Amino acid sequence: IPSVSSIVPESCLLIVVGLLVGGLIKGVGEKPPILKSDIFFLFLLPPIILDAGYFLPLRPFTENLGTILIFAVVGTLWNAFFLGGLMYAVCQLGGPGLNHIGLLANLLFGSIISAVDPVAVLAVFEEIHINELLHILVFGESLLNDAVTVVLYHLFEEFANFEQVTILDIILGFLSFFVVSLGGVLVGVIYGVIAAFTSRFTSHIRVIEPLFVFLYSYMAYLSAELFHLSGIMALIAAGVVMRPYVEANISHKSHTTIKYFLKMWSSVSETLIFIFLGVSTVAGHHYWNWTFVISTLFFCLIARVLGVLVLTWFINKFRIVKLTPKDQFIIAYGGLRGAIAFSLGYLLDYEHFSMRDMFLTAIITVIFFTVFVQGMTIRPLVDLLAVKKKQETKRSINEEIHTQFLDHLLTGIEDICGHYGHHHWKDKLNRFNKKYVKKCLIAGERSKEPQLIAFYHKMEMKQAIELVESGGIGKIPSAVSTVSIQNINPQTLPLERVLPALSKDKEEEIRKILRTNLQKTRQRLRSYNRHTLVADPYEEAWNQMLLRRQKARQLEQKMNNYLTVPAHRVDSPTMSRARIGSDPLAYEPKEDSENLPIITIDPASPQSPESVDLMSEEPKGCSGLPPSPEEDEEGLVMRVKEPSSPGTDDVFTPGTSDSPSNQRMLRCLSDPGPRPEPEEGEPFIPKGQ
């Protein structure tokens, strides 16, 4: 038996819940609340749009921008006029109840109902996991048609009160479209840049970084709405513009905070919107006119289908990846209406629009129809038509390299051909961005970081976090399974490699630290053995130790892959003392060996603005920063081989360990004899902070 959630999309269920709640309230005798327009536009809509804009997948969006714009602008205009005109005809023929509705009122109605709603589209398309192209087409259209809706709505609302509409008014209306859309985008871009600039200086107040993102975006929205510009476009523009710079500046935690807050708010908003829709249906005054409602519904569908067909025929002339009829069907079918239409209808006042109730009824009917019928049936239809679904590809470093390579290659070919195609301009924009904009908006060293490096860092962080979260040892992330650096670069380290020279007291300090920690390790092992093992303690302990040694080796191999993962405890004083590498006096590597490079990479987390020197080679040596202390389990405090059998002091048995890192480690700990020192040294690694 399929579960309810696999048949009915969430939005439908929420509307039903709203209906029930509204019915309940009404049944009790109270007056149920209606979704007031200013609550909707000021509080409920912005989080959803900001979430969509901030996490907009930019590459497919820009690649299909032409198509999206044509659907959004021309498609919506066509819908509005077609519907308005036809409804006017229906009204004239529809008998006494409808005759008084003028052309302009009908056009206004058309403009309200014709816009595809981003909230509804998001709600339904999220669940069907359709391929990226179709998703971005319908979704992008729903976002960008806001400008058209705003212009048309205000235009017709004004005109409905005029005695006469002159040509001049129409031309001005046409021009105002450009003002509204471009103005909205401009406002968004300005606020986005300001937000990015602000985030450059927030390195000391990390906790309120997310607040800047939210505040500036909301201000962009409000500012645009204030001047009757398109608030949605402003919000999208702000999110898109600020994101790359803000993400380069803020800490990892702030990034997580922003992501989860946005998702949370948008989720809550969406839920509330649909519930309110249901309640408002019950609560509102309705005026049901069969002719009007049914013809609205019918013509809406016709208009959408015709519009998509004609536009696709036109667009396919210019597209490389043509839109197949299947795609066209999904685009047409995915044109859902939602709460924006309802709120716009609600905004109409009674004085000028006496038929407001009838409009609202019709709007709600269309919304219900699209959300329920189309929303529920789109999933089986997608399966039936075998539309391509979203591919769950993990972004890999290989793909990134290839994509960048291809970009540069195509730009080069375009230059050779002498043809200034869109690769050329994209490349120019990137160069401009790198040269001027990034310097202004990104703090410190990150401004010069090329995209490949940034991507690589992000991926490493993600993998390291995954590794740690999965217990560190149990699950091996599938991407980097058992392939280690040995498999691709089997250079064996020369055995007679000389250790870099340390000053005497540095050596002494290292020795002391290591020794005390080893001591503790062994003590813990012993106590573990004594108290918990009942059967043959030595046998068990022996097996345990073998196991742990193997795990340690595995872990080490994995850690070797992540050459640049910074330790998270760079601030603790013990760490800075133990961080020998950053002390230029102590550690002078030999220049001859190719295997002793110095990596000076800024860690991905901007919390340590000074660069951390990791002395590293293949594989990672011992004196660098230890791996992240989260996997600080018993016995794994140091990457050291446990004693082969308890009681012996023979910690460093060279026989079994063949990995060069172990050999290196062995030579590091030049003084194996653990004389129990009376003094307590500081722990080399802070335990379990």
Partner 1 sequence: VGTAQMGVPRVPRGSAPVTSLLSLAVTSEQIEHLHRRFKQLSQDQLTIRKENFDSIPDLEFNPIRGKIVHAFFDKRNLRQESDGLADEINFEDFLTIMSYFRPIEMNMDEEQLDRFRKEKLKFLFHMYDSDHDGKITLQEYRNVVEELLSGNPHLEKESARSIADGAMMEAASICVGQMGPDQVYEGITFEDFLKMWQGIDIETKMHVRFLNVDTIAHCY
Reading the block at residue 185, the tokens are 């985008």
Alpha-helix residue ranges (DSSP H) falling in 316-374: 325-333, 339-347, 356-368
- CA-based nearest residue to 104, from 172, 160, 170: 160
Site of tokens 């980097």: 480
As measured in angstroms, the least distance from the Cβ of 451 to partner 1 is 10
Q: Which residue, 166 or 600, has its beta carbon nearer to partner 1?
A: 600
Residue with smaller CB distance to partner 1, 294 or 483: 483
Which residues are near partner 1 by CB under 8 A? 317, 320-322, 391, 393, 396-399, 401-406, 408-419, 421-424, 427, 431, 448, 450, 452-453, 456, 460, 479-490, 561, 563-564, 597-601, 618
Q: Do 442 and 200 form a contact (C-beta atoms < 8 A)?
A: yes
Query: Which C-beta is closer to partner 1: that of 392 or that of 680?
Result: 392
Distances (CA, A) of 77 to 177, 303, 529: 11, 11, 78
Q: Which two tokens stand for residue 662?
A: 């172990």
Q: How far is the CB of 196 from partner 1 (least distance, A)?
A: 21
Contacts 24+ apart (CB under 8 A), 369-373: 369/297, 370/120, 370/335, 370/336, 370/337, 370/338, 371/9, 371/11, 371/12, 371/15, 371/120, 371/124, 371/336, 371/337, 371/338, 372/12, 372/15
Q: In angstroms, what is the minimal distance from the CB of 321 to partner 1? A: 5
Rg for the chain (alpha carbons), in Å? 33
Helix then strand then coil, % of the chain, to nearest 5:
65, 0, 35
Handedness of CA 63, 67, 71, 73 (dihedral sign): positive
Element (H, E) at 613: strand 612-615
What are the beta bridge partners of residue 601? 612
Q: Which amino acid is residue 552, in one-letter code?
A: A
Which one, 317 or 531, has the nearer CB to partner 1? 317
Which is nearer to partner 1, 145 or 564 (by Cβ)?
Answer: 564
19/17 Cα distance (integer angstroms): 5
DSSP 8-state symbol, 645: S
**CA-to-CA distance for 182 and 234, rounded, in angstroms?**
9
